[in-house]
Structure 1
Amino acid sequence: MNDIIELKTWQGDTVAFEDAVIGSGAMKDVCFSPDRSYVIGFFRDPQGAAARERLRVICEDYREGIFGQVGGDYWRELFCWPTGVVEHEGRVGVVAPAYAPQFFFEYGSANNDMLGIKGREKEGKWFASANNQARFLDPRERGDWLNYLRICMRIARAVRRMHAAGLAHSDLSYKNVLVDPRSGSACIIDLDGLVVPGKYPPEVVGTPDFIAPEVVMTAHLPHDSPARKLPCIATDRHALAVLIYMYLLYRHPLRGGKVHDPDPSQDETLSMGERALFVEHAHDFSNRIRVADARPSELPWCDTQRMPYTLTGPYLAPLFARAFTDGLRDPRARPSAEDWEFALVRTADLILPCANRGCVQGWFVFDNRRAPSCPFCGTPYPGALPVLNFYSSRHGDSFRPDDQRLMVYTNQSLFEWHVNRHLAPNERLTEAQKVRVGYFVFHQGTWWLVNERLPHCRDLSAGRDIAVGERVALRDGLQLLLSRESGGRLALVQMAGGG
């Protein structure tokens, strides 16, 4: 049995830990609490006055600002936020919740768990490349494309909340985000080094693959040089774009075939810094990934002709283009976390299940420009599918397009945020607003919307109300008024596919 040591946090709470190190990172040694509900990470190096004050405000002021507000409980699943600070035998320690069970590998890696990952944390690096997934992961751990979309949505939402509080992570990467593709869950970790611009500077420059080009370009300058660029909200935005690209396309957006210098170290600095170039740049093809040199485990994802970033749909593709063209040189041009969240939510409404039950990805985005066909396995979707194009009125005026659509498939749900443009599926929703208001079903050759909770649903084409409990057949050109409230929407049905 390990000794149990009790301590008082700076915040006045009693905590305890087992006197045995269960893991070590770059800066801390970690011990479990007796009931395994939380951990304490002890810094190996002494923490100065500024570092101590940073830890205090993260555990008190900023924690209260995020978790102490209405809807604060929502963030407990998305952040592993420190709850207190302790000192023991001259070392400062940070108390934080233990990771949720879904963030540990249930199954070992390939070849009888040759990597010994069973029971270990699900660092995002295992899932962010086609090579790692194909060579090392049990297929039961990989998840499907819809869940990667959900993972990206949750990461973007969490980063948006951090940035709204004036905080930057400074080391946003697949090492500091735990993911579970089986459930679509994500959790940002290592939050004890958060950056407050102008007050608490960054302690690290970041993780290779995710460091913004301006940081790489100026890393050789003295730390206090005014010309040196340090991690901040703008560099988080670069890292977030890289994360989303890698989780949806399983390759890095800047690591192509172009060689800038025969010295590997100098080539790395140039390709990630001064000469960074998007592997799918619209006009400069010099950094395309060389498919002929790829490992079999990297295919087909490294083939940007077969798997272009545009397969992510009409909302995400323009953000990738912004982030990795203008945004590489001009941090102000980078999409914000809110931009990504907005695009991911709308992309989720365009998702379709692949008709091929053997498709590894299982889902794909319908982009409204072609007949539905899975880009991952090439299977076309049989038959016609309804698309609801949403319109809403402004100040009593005529209905205007909202640039939002909902792809219909069997058992697809209709929610309040589809019915009213003032709502979004985020932490602000009440429990009542999370309940679906209708669903879609294909029955005897006809697509139907079943009204479950829409008191004012009306078929404008036929001039009749659709009462709660009734259904309405979906046909091309059908106009459905979903709500008469402020922000209420009109849905215009368009039939896609079917030959």
Structure 2
Amino acid sequence: MSTIKVQSIINSSQYYEYIDDGNPKQGGVKDVYFDPNRKYVVAFFRDPLDFNQKDRIKKIVTLYLENIKKGNASDYYLNDIFRWPYDAVENNGKTGVIVPIYDSKFFFKKGYCSNETIKGGEKVGKWFTSPSFRNKNYPLSLDKNELGDWLSYFQIAINICRGVKKLHQMGLAHSDLSYNNVLVDPVSKSAVIIDIDGLVVPGLFPPEVIGTADFIAPEVLTTKHLKISDSNRILPNQKTDLHALAVLIYMYLFRRHPLRGGKIWDLDSEKDELFAMGEKAIFVEHPTDHTNRVKVDHLKKWDINWGDPKKVPFTIVGPYLTDLFKRAFIDGLHNPILRPIANEWETALLKTVDLIQPCQNPSCDEKWYVFDNTANPKCPFCGTAHKGTLPVIDLYYKFKDEVWKPEGHRLMAYHNQYLFKWHVSRHVIRNENLTTEDKKPVGYFTFYQNKWVLVNQTLNGMKDLTDKKDIPINSMVELTDGKKILLSNEEGGRLLYITLTNK
């Protein structure tokens, strides 16, 4: 074992150290070594890089890194969303990148229920996109303390969307977005995008790979037989990123693949794969074309609940995400221009989180579900019906004097749920730019003395328009059917309209 010192190829006065014990951690194309203080890793490409590849690496650790630092929410992106390389080195003819070490939460604390063979291993996203690893009857099921609950995967998806959104805003494409290049921690609801040294810059840096199986866009597979120089050949780009993003979100929320159904296109497995994921790809939950429906009798015994879309259909995520999944896997599957962009996914995920209800069954593995807009809602995972009344809160905005219009945004109250500034005002957008002050709750809903109430914590000017009275700070208002509550009389302020369901 030896400590090796290497020099930056960006700044000749900068040096880095790493420990070489002869057994580096091996990735797909890189060998990874840790620095003695475990603050960063040095990841060397196994094969020598050509001039263009080196130039790409230099741009990533200088120009594009600086663009993030100068942009909005830079600390958030560099600490919470990306593990962005910040320098490049050379040793014995090989090029390496300096990357911040992963946060400890992205390593398994225990791993499997039955043994600890993956303890300390990276929480690569693929561990959390299959039902197998969370079924107690499966020999390699993960310890339940590693899994989080269904709500965890909404925030994980939001983080990934923000990362893709940022790359695309910078004119970049990831080119190989998959569950192998995302680390997740469902317990803290965190996700970080890794391995971003292959970024695509249209017209400058072409893609190095066509992607990872399961996430390669149909148009890339359909044209892969053509020469790179052929103008009809489709290579990874921002539109193919959007296909991979939709697949990732679907797999995190439903733990199955949107295109892997029961249809066999060719007895030759390689040709069948090309058809199923490429030219003939069909959404397994296509509402009118049943060609690729999942055959339940083919499912493994531990996959049955999640593998069968009839039991857990994609529509359980509510209207906002259902619409985007249709656009991604029906309209845009073979027409890339129609695919939802990352910002649309982020917005739909955030609005869907406002529809989430806690399951009243303490033994439910998923703990949460999306309100299904019925008079008698129930958890789609365990079948437990909601008991008691349920406040449905529609947000309205002032269109003009005395004219209020629906925002197209609904909030489902539950016991001790918070109200935030982004609910109060149209001028506060729930995204990565929120200040610490903006993230503080301004009120909360609670079930008190057999009544639903909203407690005002910090809002000046909150009014009960139905009973025509003020709701001062530190007081409460009962949520009754048809109640109208003005949250703010300032420009952009919203009004709540209450409907009590399940009465």
**TMscore range, shorter length:** over 0.9
Q: Could you report, residue by residue, the CA deviation over 1:430-466 in whole angstroms, capped at 9, with x for unpaired residues?
A: 1111111001111111111110111111100111111
1:450 equivalenced with 2:451 (yes/no): no
Matches within 5 A, 1:420-439: 420-439=425-444
* SS of aligned partner of 1:3: strand
Please name the residue that 2:374 is paired with.
Answer: 369
Measure the CA separation in 1 of the matches of 2:440 and 2:248. Answer: 31
Please name the residue that 1:60 is paired with.
Answer: 62
Q: Could you report, residue by residue, the CA deviation over 1:14-50 in whole angstroms, capped at 9, with x for unpaired residues?
A: 3221123431112111110111111010011111111
Contact kept? 1:372, 1:496, Cα under 8 Å: no
Please name the residue that 1:265 is paired with.
Answer: 270
Contact kept? 1:323, 1:335, Cα under 8 Å: yes
Contact kept? 2:131, 2:302, Cα under 8 Å: yes
Q: Please report how far the alpha carbon of residue 64 of structure 1 lies from its aligned counterpart in structure 2 after TM superposition.
A: 1.4
Please name the residue that 1:26 is paired with.
Answer: 28
Measure the CA separation in 2 of the matches of 1:396 and 1:26. Answer: 61
Q: Could you report, residue by residue, the CA deviation over 1:154-195 in whole angstroms, capped at 9, with x for unpaired residues?
A: 111111111111111000000000111111100000011111
Write out the 4+ residue segments of structure 1 that deviate beyond 4 Å after TM superposition: none
* SS of aligned partner of 2:305: coil
* SS of aligned partner of 2:307: coil
Measure the CA separation in 2 of the matches of 1:359 and 1:372. Answer: 15
Measure the CA separation in 2 of the matches of 1:308 and 1:254. Answer: 14
Aligned length: 496
Matches within 5 A, 1:53-452: 53-75=55-77, 76-113=79-116, 116-134=117-135, 135=138, 136=140, 137-394=142-399, 396=401, 398-452=403-457
* SS of aligned partner of 1:450: strand
Measure the CA separation in 1 of the matches of 2:159 and 2:375. Answer: 29
Q: Could you report, residue by residue, the CA deviation over 1:48-96 in whole angstroms, capped at 9, with x for unpaired residues?
A: 1111111111111111111333421111211011111111121111011
Contact kept? 1:441, 1:449, Cα under 8 Å: yes
Match for residue 47 of structure 2 among 24, 41, 45: 45
Please name the residue that 2:464 is paired with.
Answer: 459
Contact kept? 1:58, 1:192, Cα under 8 Å: yes
Q: Please report how far the alpha carbon of residue 105 of structure 1 lies from its aligned counterpart in structure 2 after TM superposition.
A: 0.6
* SS of aligned partner of 1:492: strand
Measure the CA separation in 1 of the matches of 2:58 and 2:254. Answer: 39
Contact kept? 2:3, 2:17, Cα under 8 Å: no
Measure the CA separation in 2 of the matches of 1:26 and 1:367. Answer: 43
* SS of aligned partner of 2:264: coil
Q: Could you report, residue by residue, the CA deviation over 1:350-384 in whole angstroms, capped at 9, with x for unpaired residues?
A: 10110000000000000323422100000011100
* SS of aligned partner of 2:306: coil
Contact kept? 1:5, 1:19, Cα under 8 Å: no
Q: Please report how far the alpha carbon of residue 427 of structure 1 lies from its aligned counterpart in structure 2 after TM superposition.
A: 1.3
Contact kept? 1:126, 1:133, Cα under 8 Å: no
Contact kept? 1:394, 1:487, Cα under 8 Å: no
How has the CA–CA distance of structure 1 residues 483 and 9 changed in structure 2, closer, same or farther, with 3 Å as cutoff? farther
**Identity in percent:** 49
* SS of aligned partner of 1:289: coil
Measure the CA separation in 1 of the matches of 2:7 and 2:200. Answer: 27
Q: Could you report, residue by residue, the CA deviation over 1:174-226 in whole angstroms, capped at 9, with x for unpaired residues?
A: 00001111111000000111111111110010000000000010111112211
Measure the CA separation in 1 of the matches of 2:435 and 2:111. Answer: 39
Measure the CA separation in 2 of the matches of 1:370 and 1:235. Answer: 40
Measure the CA separation in 1 of the matches of 2:4 and 2:241. Answer: 39
Measure the CA separation in 2 of the matches of 1:177 and 1:370. Answer: 39
Q: What residue identity is the alignment partner of 1:453?
A: T
TM-score (norm 1): 0.97
TM-score (norm 2): 0.96
Contact kept? 2:480, 2:499, Cα under 8 Å: yes
Q: Please report how far the alpha carbon of residue 395 of structure 1 lies from its aligned counterpart in structure 2 after TM superposition.
A: 5.6
1:472 equivalenced with 2:477 (yes/no): yes
How has the CA–CA distance of structure 1 residues 46 and 468 changed in structure 2, closer, same or farther, with 3 Å as cutoff? same
* SS of aligned partner of 1:401: strand
Contact kept? 1:390, 1:491, Cα under 8 Å: yes
* SS of aligned partner of 2:251: helix
Contact kept? 2:6, 2:89, Cα under 8 Å: no
Contact kept? 2:481, 2:499, Cα under 8 Å: yes
How has the CA–CA distance of structure 1 residues 403 and 91 changed in structure 2, closer, same or farther, with 3 Å as cutoff? same
Measure the CA separation in 2 of the matches of 1:465 and 1:289. Answer: 56
Measure the CA separation in 2 of the matches of 1:279 and 1:450. Answer: 45
Q: Could you report, residue by residue, the CA deviation over 1:285-317 in whole angstroms, capped at 9, with x for unpaired residues?
A: 121111112111102111111110000111101
Gaps of 5+ in 1: none
Measure the CA separation in 1 of the matches of 2:323 and 2:71. Answer: 34
Q: Please report how far the alpha carbon of residue 9 of structure 1 lies from its aligned counterpart in structure 2 after TM superposition.
A: 4.8
